[in-house]
Amino acid sequence: MVQKLRWGIIGCAQIATGSVMPAIMNSDSGVIAAIASRGLEKSSAVAAEFGIEKAYGGYEELLADKEIDAVYVPLPNHLHREWVIRAAEAGKHVLCEKPIALNSAEAAEMVKACNDAGVHLAEAYMYRHHPRIAELQDIIASGEIGELRSIRGTFTYNDATDTSNIRFKSAWGGGSLYDVGCYPLSAARLLFGTEPEAVTVHAKFSPEHDNVDMMASGLVEFPNGLSLIFDCGMWAYNRQLLEILGTEGRIEVPMPFNARDEDAEFFVYTGDEVRRVDATGANPYIRQVDDFAAAVFTGKRLIAPEDPVLSMRLVETCLASAKQRQRISML
């Protein structure tokens, strides 16, 4: 019999009900044992919809449930630190939505709390678990496009009219850098395999949206002259792209952060040739929960324990650069 991780869901956010909960239910590694909301009426309704046995009217009640092995935290960003730490203290493994915290100091506290409790903590960048990422890394390592020189990443969408959106609350960790800019920033660190040295970011801060950054563009400097050029936005035309540039070619990745089964292709340009690669399709949310369970059951981690702190340090430095309108060294 396959060992299954018993999940508790802390909150009923759309990312939970629309993506992560269906992934757990369709995975080979997990079952949803309980869900909690701040009101029993809401959690009971979601539990009925998904056929979940237990619903709680408070997060504390779920954490006290000894039949829960792990929790998923899709709460607003400013609540991540509190509930990750409380979950760790309750002996639960934790999958926390991205960005993991409001800043790197909070992220370091969360990582320490989980390490001290002996539980696994992961930040929910689901795209990293899609098979296409490993296939991209293999092509880069093969030398087919030569030595790496630069990465260009974009992630924009337009939701500006929804002024009640929690992404537009500054104190809650709102803004485009925290919401979608973190994706190309994460991808560059992953594909370069090194940490940045400096950032320069320019942003549009909107008084209509609690002065969060509604659009940001930037340059991230990495060692040996490598760079990420990126833009992100919540008030711009919908688009996603990742371009990986080498001395002998380039790779163009459409929909780099939301690919599923049927849209995992990418294109390799070398000389006058263009090669389409139909990468292995998969639901990255299912792969994410399966990889999480493997880390819990076998200790096999896909991402280093300290990664959330390093990731958060880059995101917060980008925001600081945009606010100060200057280049900031990270050395």
pLDDT, position 171: 96
Convert the pLDDT of each residue in 128-150 to its tens digit: 999 999 999 999 999 999 999 99
pTM: 0.96
Task: Tell whether 290 and 320 lie within a shared domain.
Answer: yes
Task: Tell whether 164 and 298 lie within a shared domain.
Answer: yes
Task: Tell whether 162 and 216 lie within a shared domain.
Answer: yes
pLDDT, position 1: 54
Task: Tell whether 175 and 234 lie within a shared domain.
Answer: yes
Convert the pLDDT of each residue in 154-165 to its tens digit: 999 999 999 889
Task: Tell whether 136 and 251 lie within a shared domain.
Answer: yes
Convert the pLDDT of each residue in 30-84 to its tens digit: 999 999 999 999 999 999 999 999 999 999 999 999 999 999 999 999 999 999 9
Task: Tell whether 142 and 70 lie within a shared domain.
Answer: no
Task: Tell whether 233 and 144 lie within a shared domain.
Answer: yes
Number of domains in the chain: 2
Give the residue from 62, 89, 124 where a domain finishes. 124
pLDDT band at residue 262 using 50, 70 and 90 as cut-offs? confident
Task: Tell whether 131 and 75 lie within a shared domain.
Answer: no
Give the residue from 124, 145, 168 where a domain finishes. 124
Residue by residue, what is the 3-state secondary structure of the chain? Answer: CCCCEEEEEECCCHHHHHHHHHHHHHCCCEEEEEEECCCHHHHHHHHHHHCCCEEECCHHHHHCCCCCCEEEECCCHHHHHHHHHHHHHCCCEEEECCCCCCCHHHHHHHHHHHHHHCCCEEECCHHHHCHHHHHHHHHHHHCCCCCEEEEEEEEEEECCCCCCCHHHCHHHCCCHHHHHHHHHHHHHHHHHCCCCCEEEEEEEEEHHHCCEEEEEEEEEECHHHCEEEEEEECEEEEEEEEEEEECCEEEEEECCCCCCCCCCEEEEEECCEEEEEECCCCCHHHHHHHHHHHHHHHCCCCCCCCHHHHHHHHHHHHHHHHHHCCCEECC
CATH number at residue 180: 3.30.360.10
Task: Tell whether 105 and 241 lie within a shared domain.
Answer: no
Task: Tell whether 325 and 197 lie within a shared domain.
Answer: yes
Task: Tell whether 91 and 181 lie within a shared domain.
Answer: no
Give the structural domain span for 284: 127-329
The answer to whether residue 66 is catalytic is no
Give the residue from 104, 124, 144 where a domain finishes. 124
From 42, 92, 98, 112, active-site residue: 98
**Does the pLDDT at position 321 exceed 90?**
yes
Task: Tell whether 29 and 171 lie within a shared domain.
Answer: no
